[in-house]
Amino acid sequence: MKNKTFKNDLIVFVIILIIIGGLFLFKSKQQGSFIEITKNKEVYGYYSLDKDQIIDIDHENKVQIKNHEVYMIEATCPDKLCVKQGHIEKKGATIVCLPHHLVIEVKEGNEQKQDGKVY
């Protein structure tokens, strides 16, 4: 009887782990559909992740969208930490350039519902 109870508990435990793991994988792989660039706490623009492009932000930073990923390719700040942050693609991921007061955030949803311009 004791051995059968242990087996049932083990089966329930494994099922719960599979469910939690599946939810975690689903949540972590959600990609965004566009980025919002904010400079000095004002929206600079919205850009689709579906279109490969290079965005020049006030001749200080260059952002590249390629293969549904975003990364900073060039910056005039001294430490270049924003360039070192690498590629982002998941909803909520950000690249921040503190010297230039710049934030790039991946968002999900319909671009037309946003209040800014879509480039």
Is 119 within the bounds of a domain? no
- The SS3 assignment for 70 reads strand
Q: Answer yes or no: is 102 within a domain.
A: yes
Is position 46 within any domain? yes
User: Domain check: are 90 and 52 in the same one?
Assistant: yes
Q: What is the number of domains present in the chain?
A: 2
Find the CATH number of the domain harbouring 61: 2.60.320.10
pLDDT in tens, 38-58: 999 999 999 999 899 999 999
pTM, full prediction: 0.67
What does the pLDDT read at residue 81? 93
Parallel/antiparallel/unpaired status of strands 42-48 and 34-39: antiparallel
Inside any domain, residue 118: no
SS3 103: strand
pLDDT of residue 114: 47
Note the pLDDT of residue 8.
82
Note down the domain range covering 69.
Answer: 34-113
Residue 24 lies in a domain: yes
Model pLDDT, residue 20: 83
Contact between 107 and 49 (Cβ < 8 Å): no
Chain position carrying tokens 């980025």: 35
Residues of the chain with pLDDT under 50: 111-116, 119
